[in-house]
Structure 1
């Protein structure tokens, strides 16, 4: 097996383990906070939000720092740092005795995380140019699968082991990711003796600044749009379904439908982007998502919503891999770690802002209004991508094809 393919396999497994470990915490945080002595329902909700959001918020600001070190010392050391560090911290959460200790450990977790972003950088710099779309699309399914199955695994294990032991299981999963990376990921990287380029020097080295910035903005808007809906899906399902006794299960199916379709579609759409250009795939995906969010405001039952979410998942399965492919094609490999980390920052900030603003819009104007605002946000993104990304990338792609024939 070629080195980059073996690395892709291990990074997929590592991304799955990391994402499943992180997402397992979502349904059990309120239970753990209650076990730590917080009994008031509103207080549990507040502390759960702080505990969950603090990790993502901190990740947004530390991602560029780890990306900088990845460019200087290599991507594999960053994967080892993230997996081992998170294994220790997540396992330590099981020893927390107060909600303040829990928050502190969640903040530390956000500080040292970064396995998935490191994997993206490693595969993007190693995969052949004509296989980059497929490789990054396949890699994304590892993280999506982990995010999808994590809550299901966590909810099941809580029934068997109890809340505290779940964090030990998560730590063990991350430790497996560490050893897989240590023994099976190979990277030919020579540490630079020179001082790393400053941000201004990096900015000047970019040939097409507006295209790169356009990708960062697209990442932010896409994540903000998607995660403005996620926190209120369960509430929306409760207004649609007559099966209130199985609300959690039905909501889980609605959540899972978009993730499942993304897993199925991402490798195929990645391969398509290698043939027709990632700029075309992402533009069509954005247009489809813009359209598909509107009918979700008019559904009459949970099954209609599930079907539309399945279709949205196909569109979203094309977005982030296409963005990463476009970035790979337009940045020097020497600064790839930092550029992908900047994109990760945009992604984390989008998740954070989407969760906050989505809940506010739903509370003040109604959940159905949220689908229209999300669609409008994506439509603005379509116009920006067409103007600053599609037109330029289309010319470059056509030029490259003409010279290869």
Structure 2
């Protein structure tokens, strides 16, 4: 049990990171209208700005926190970030101007960049052959948080626009206390590395990590795959309304089923799958399943069929942890924080770019002036991008363990 408690802390941290975003989503439109005194259209503009700021901070500070954890340890970075995160939610709960909300999202984006440190901790405590499966646990944590966040946030919103922020603050603070008492440090003098600013910024981290054999292609695949996979949170709600006439309740149920499916696949099924077929085949299988799912969703016209496809789309999520495991085994032990920080930044850039790509595609093929009406066009685009990922991956050599940097 003592050995399992640190893993439990990491998973709770990941769940809180995922919940923290979804928890406040149901109240953000009303909160922005409250502090700005504006209509829903202007609130949507500010909501987009706040989301972009959050993702930009993750991009900028993912490598920094990862490199700090390589130097000073995973434990202080994780615990201090949770404490600051709790204080940030208190700030947002008390904010009465849009500028305080912006400051809150800046701080929140920085503290949420600890995904890299959480993944590095998991890499530290995992044997090489266990890394992909344990990264799958992190993916399962995100799936659970993705389901619980909007659900709890919607329920708490009945008690006011500030209630979800107080709940998020309490969760972050409680987990910080839990980690203080049970989390051992995994960075030893053997793998500790001096902190260098030229490696702790996104561009420097890309250059250093990209120099490892095969990792530049794997990082490209990670970016393109993240853009392709963002079609679900990016246009699913609009697609459901346009194609099936779904209301908010049905859209919430469908996203919840998707999150549950990912949690089951990455938390339970991925380990036996990896043991049976290995990481490289798991990446190819997962990407291939995604291609099939994207193509089917592009043409499906029945909402119940779309719901039935959630199990197939969730199964495709084995590709992410398997790909992350291959990259982790390529980097040296004292580069795990830097690597995971780089991955966080890649995902953040993809999260900034993907909404524009998939929503503009949806708009073009559903607008009254479109030459060819097709609500499922974004899914076809994602299928093409994923096919490109498969093509690049099969030409990439297997991992070769790097020496300490």
| 1:238 aligned partner | 241
Distance across 2 between alignment mates of 1:178 and 1:107: 20
How do residues 52-201 of structure 1 correspond to structure 2 at under 5 angstroms? 52-159=51-158, 161-190=159-188, 195-196=194-195, 199=199
Deviations 1:180-234 (A, max 9, x none): 2111111243368863465499889879835212222222112111213423212
Query: Which ranges in structure 1 are unaligned for 5 or more consecutive residues?
Result: 398-405
Give the direction of change, closer, same or farther, for the CA distance of 1:194–1:6 in structure 2 (3 Å limit): closer
Kindly report which structure 2 residues correspond to 1:351-362, keeping only aligned pairs within 5 A, or say none.
351-362=351-362
Range 185-194 or range 33-42, more displaced? 185-194
**Distance in 2 separating the partners of 1:167 and 1:13:** 17
- Aligned residue number for residue 400 of structure 1: none
Inter-partner Cα distance in structure 2 for 1:278 and 1:73: 31
- For normalisation by structure 2, the TM-score amounts to 0.89
Correspondence for 1:403: none
The change in CA–CA distance for 1:58 and 1:207 in structure 2 (over 3 A counts) is closer
| TM-score between the two structures when normalised by the length of structure 1 | 0.89
Alpha-carbon spacing, 1:203–1:104, altered in 2? closer, same or farther (3 Å): closer
Q: Determine which of 195, 216, 227 is the counterpart of 1:213.
A: 216
Once residues 77 and 254 of structure 2 are traced to their aligned partners in structure 1, the CA distance between those partners, rounded to angstroms, is 35
CA gap of 1:2–1:170, structure 2 versus 1, over 3 A, is closer
Q: Does the alignment pair 1:374 with 2:382?
A: yes
Is the Cα–Cα contact under 8 Å of residues 14 and 181 in structure 1 kept in the other structure? no
- Distance change in 2, residues 1:287/1:100 (3 Å): same
Larger CA deviation: 71-80 vs 127-136 = 127-136
The answer to whether the 8 Å contact 2:205/2:342 transfers is no
Secondary structure of the corresponding residue to residue 309 of structure 2:
helix
Q: Quick check: 341-350 or 318-327, which moved more?
A: 318-327
Q: Is 1:337 matched up with 2:345?
A: no
User: Following the alignment from structure 1 to structure 2, what is the Cα–Cα distance between the partners of residues 230 and 96?
Assistant: 27
Q: CA deviation at 1:385?
A: 0.8
Please provide the CA RMSD for this pair: 2.4
SS class of match (1:294): helix
Does the residue aligned with 2:94 lie in a helix, a strand or coil?
Answer: coil
**Structure with more helix by fraction:** 1
Deviations 1:367-397 (A, max 9, x none): 32111111101111110111114xx35xx79
Structure 2 Cα separation of the partners of residues 124 and 209 of structure 1: 18
The runs of 5 or more residues in structure 2 that have no matched partner are: 367-374
Would the aligned equivalents of 1:33 and 1:99 in 2 still touch at CA under 8 Å?
yes
- How far apart, in 1, do the equivalents of 2:289 and 2:169 lie? 39
